[in-house]
Amino acid sequence: MSDAEIIEEETVKPIAGIGTKVFGKWDASEVTCADPGLAPYINLTTVGVPHTGGRHANAWFGKAKLSVVERYINKLMRTGSYTGKKMGAMKAFEGALDNIAERSGENPLQVFVDAICNAAPMEEITRIKFGAVSQPKAVDSSPSRRLDVALANLAKGAQQGTHKSKRTLQSCIINELNKASQGDVTSYAVSKKEEVERIAASAR
């Protein structure tokens, strides 16, 4: 085998999971992303427990090196009664992945990535001032911004499902991820994406 063939063979290998398993159960290397814009930004590399202690916080774009699993767990803790309860959020998300795997028989990380792709808005609006008048204008969202918005909306949709309800956070995560992965408009994240894109389309 020539050197060129060896180099080509090395580049073809999937690098998404690098052989590690999320929560020691789910292999990330077999997960694919249907959105080519988001694919380089979705990081599933996890070693053991998804808890890095915020070491990425002071580095520019340090969050790009952080696993989307940990980023989603951190988003679940943003507001309400889940603030600061990382172990509770982590157990709820792990239980949700277990449940999705039992029901569907497929890798739950694939469902999670599909939900992110369906919840990421392609464009948003910004306000541009012309003298004293500010007008809304449609702008394309960067891949990093799209991923941030998708994770935030998926977490917020799961949180809101528990308000004034007897449903647990785990069941709400399952419900939100399953609906978002199928592109169902009854999902909070998908409905927010379509609303933002509709407003941007009218502001072109």
pLDDT of residue 14: 42
- Helix, strand, or coil (residue 192): helix
pLDDT digits (tens, 9 = 90+) for 36-51: 989 889 988 876 778 8
Domains of the chain: 3-202 (1.10.455.10)
Q: Is the pLDDT of residue 179 over 90?
A: yes
- CA angle, 105 then 184 then 40, to 5°: 70
